[in-house]
A and B are shown apart, each in its own frame.
Chain A
Amino acid sequence: MARDSVSKQARVVMTLLARAEESGDVELEAAAAEFDVKINALTKWVEDFVYLERRLLTGELFSPPVTFVIEDGSLIRHGNNRSIRDLVTKPPPIEVAVGLLIAATQYITMYDDPDQDGLHYPLISAINILRKIVGQEYPATAKAPELLADVEESIGTRGRSRAQIIRYMKDDFSVSERTVEIHQTYSIGGYWYAKLLDCGDGNEKSFRIDRILEISDGGYYFPTAPTGEIPDSFDLSELANRVTVRTDDEALDALPNGVEIDKQTTLGDGRVEVELIVYGESRLDHLLLAIGPNAEVVGPPEMIERRAAHAASLLSTYLT
C-alpha cells in the first residue's frame, strides 16, 4: 500500500479529534477500517498528536492539562481542555456558520440565565462572531410556551419523574383532563411538544404544550423514561385531505398554517387553480371557509357540499 499523504493523515487525525471531543470515545480499530488505514499506522498518527500534547505538558509550548489520551485502543477525550481546534483561524463556511448561528440564537433564547451558566457570555461572543461571518442576524424560531418550564420540571433527572394531571385542548377544541407521565419535551416546526404516556388509555402520545391549559401534580413517581431522538416531522398522511380551489393569488398568502400547496396552475382570468392538502377534519373545515367567499371550491364534489354545510352551520349561530 502506498504511504498515505501527510495531508490525509492530518485530515484523519482532525476528524478523530473532532469526534472524540463532540461525541465521545473513538475506537481506533473501527476508524482504521472506515478510513482504509492499517490500525498500526492510524494509531501512530494519533499518537503523534497525543504524545505531542504530553510533551507539551513540560511547558515547552503549552501548560494546560492534556485533552486526549489513548486507552484500550480508543481515543478518549480527557476533560474539556485545550485542543488543536483552539488554534483554528479560518472561519467556518457560511453554510456551517448559519447553522451554528441559528442553534446558538435559539439556545440562548431558551436558556438565558448568565448567573447559572459559565458559558453564557462566551455564547454571546460566539453569536456576534457568527453574525459577522453570516452578515445577518437570525431571530430565534421556537418561542417557549408559557407552561414549558412547568412541564419540564416534572421530568426528573435522577431516575424518577412525577406524574402530572393536565387539562388539554385538542384540535377540535374539546377539553379533557388526563393523568400523564411526561417523558420528554421537544420542538419541531416552531411548536413545542410533550412526549408522554396518557394513563387513561395507556398510549404514548405527543401533545402540543401551548394547548395545555393547566398542569398540576399527579400524586406519584414513575421511573424517568429514556429520551428518544426527536422526529423530523409527524407522519400525518393518514389525515390528509385534498381540495382544489380557484382564487386570486394574494389569497394564497393568507392560507392557514399547515396547509400545503401541491399543484398550482395560472388561469387566464387572473386567478390560480391550486390543489391544497390539509391534515385533519377541523383544519379542513377551517380551510374551506378561510379561503374566503371569493374563492371557488371546484372539487372534489363532497368538498363543495362540505363547505356550504359548514358555512350554513356557522351562519345559523349569527341569525338566531
Chain B
Amino acid sequence: MPNAPDERGSALERTLILAAWFASRRGSPTTLHDITDNFPEYADSDSEASRRMLRRDLQLIEDDLQIEIEWDNANSIYTVKPPVFTRDERASLLRAMGTVRVDGIAEDADETEIGHARDQSAAQIAVRLPLIVSELNAPIRDRQMVEFWYKKGERRRVEPHRIGRGGVAWYLLARDKKDGAIKHFRLDRILEVPGAPAIVAVGELGAFEVPDNRDLAGEFDVDPNEWGRDTPLEAEVAMSRDLATIFCSTVVGARISSEQGGNAIVSVTVRHYAAFLNRILSFGSNVRLENPPELVEMLISSLKQMSGAK
C-alpha cells in the first residue's frame, strides 16, 4: 500500500489527497489508525478538533467530489464505494453526448455532471423530450403507480413501465388499472393541470413488476398495420415507382409486387382499415387503391360524405 505524500498545503489540497488516498485503497478496509498513520493532521485521535476535521473532510469529499466513504460502526472501518463509471465508460458517454443533444431534460444540471460541461454545438442528433417526462422518471424507477387526466377528462391510474417514441409521438407504456391491459398512452394527450403536476404518484414504492420485453426496438413502433385487429385484407395500390419507394419505407409490410415502366403496384396486408385508408388519402391523387373491393368501397363512401356528393 502506498504512503500518502508528505507535502500538504491547503485544506482543499488535503481533501483531494485524502480522497485520492482512499480511492487507492478501494477494496481494502481502512481503520482510523491507517488514516492517522498517513495523515498526521488527523493523528490526535483524542482531539475533538482533529476528529471534527476528519468528519468535515469526508463530508466535503462526499458532497463536492461525489465520492462516498462509508463508516462501518460494527467493524470500525472505512470503505470507499466503487465508482459509478470507469474512465472508458465515462469517455464513451462523453462522446455520445457530443453527438446526441438531448433537450428538455436536465437542462439546468450542474456542469460537473457527465456531459453537462460539453460544447454540444457539433451535435448531429437532437432529441427533444416532452416536459412531462420529468414527472414520470421517478415513478418509473420506483415502480410506483401514477394518476393523470387523459384525453377529454378521464382520470387514469396506471403502472408506468417505460417511455419511448413511436414515429414522432412520445408514449408511456403502462398497465391501465381499469382493465389490466398494457397500453400506449400518448404523452401529448395527458392533460395539464394548472398550478399542479400533471402526474401524481400514488401508493407504495415497488408496487408492481414490469414484464420483461426484449423487443424494445419494436415496442413503440405503433404502426396500426402491426397492431390492428381488423380481419386481414390484401390490398393493392397503384403509384409511381418513385412513390412506391417512399410508401414501402413508411407503411409496415408494404412491398412492390409488380412494376412496369415508371409505375408500380404495392401490396400490403391491411390490419387496420381506417388507418390504412387515412394513409392512402395522405398521398392524394398520387396513388390509387385498386383492391380489395371492400376497402375501395369504404374509401369511395368516405370521400362521398366529405365531398357532399350523394
Contact = CB atoms under 8 A, between A and B. Distances in A.
A37 interface: no
Interface residues of A, number: 125
A318 B296 contact: yes
A33 interface: no
B64 interface: yes
Interface in B115-131: 115-119, 121-129
A59 B2 contact: yes
Contact of B17 (A52, A111, A133, A175): A52
Nearest to A52: B16
A98 B15 contact: no
B214 to A, nearest CB: 9
Contact of A123 (B93, B283, B299): B93
A215 to B, nearest CB: 13
Interface in B84-139: 84-97, 99-103, 105-106, 109-119, 121-129, 133-134, 137-138
A65 interface: no
A285 B283 CA distance: 10
Contacts, number: 363
Contact of B12 (A45, A100, A125, A186): A45
B177 interface: no
Contact of A315 (B66, B95, B142, B307): B307
B79 to A, nearest CB: 11
A132 B132 CA distance: 21
Given A48-B16, A92-B84, A256 B109 contact: no
Interface string B197-224: 0000000000000100000110110000
Nearest to B283: A173
Contacts of B109: 93, 95-96, 99
A94 B137 contact: yes
Nearest to A187: B125
Nearest to B220: A139
B114 A56 contact: no
Contact of A15 (B106, B111, B161): B111
A189 interface: yes
B134 A95 contact: yes
Interface string B1-35: 01111010111110111011101100000000000
Given A95-B109, A289-B281, A188 B114 contact: no
A137 B284 contact: no
A213 interface: yes
Contacts of B87: 81-83, 86
B82 interface: yes
Contact of A103 (B91, B100, B138): B100
Interface in A98-120: 98-100, 102-104, 106-108, 110-111, 118-120
B156 interface: no
B255 interface: no
A293 B306 CA distance: 5
Given A311-B307, A318-B299, A15 B117 contact: yes
B168 A189 contact: yes
A311 B148 CA distance: 38
B65 A88 contact: yes
Contact of A6 (B2, B11, B143, B288): B11
A285 to B, nearest CB: 6
Contacts of A142: 125, 127
Given A87-B83, A315-B307, A48 B114 contact: no
B242 interface: yes
Given A7-B60, A106-B125, A126 B93 contact: yes
Interface stretch (B42-50, B229-237, B243-251, B263-271): B243-251
Contact of A87 (B17, B65, B91): B65
B190 interface: no
B193 interface: no
B155 interface: no
Contacts of B86: 86, 122, 125
A272 B124 contact: no
Given A94-B141, A189-B168, A308 B97 contact: no
A23 B115 CA distance: 9
Contact of A60 (B2, B127, B153, B165): B2
Question: Lowest 4 CB-CB distances: which A-B pairs, in order?
Answer: A135-B141, A293-B305, A311-B307, A107-B96
Given A18-B116, A229-B122, A315-B307, 10 more contacts: A14-B64, A22-B115, A86-B87, A93-B109, A99-B109, A100-B114, A103-B99, A188-B126, A254-B275, A261-B188
Interface of B: 2-5, 7, 9-13, 15-17, 19-21, 23-24, 60, 62-68, 80-97, 99-103, 105-106, 109-119, 121-129, 133-134, 137-138, 140-143, 151-153, 161-165, 167-169, 186, 188-189, 210, 216-217, 219-220, 240, 242-243, 245-246, 249, 274-275, 278, 281-286, 288-289, 296, 299-309
9 contacts: A15-B112, A18-B111, A23-B117, A92-B114, A94-B138, A120-B92, A141-B165, A210-B246, A290-B281
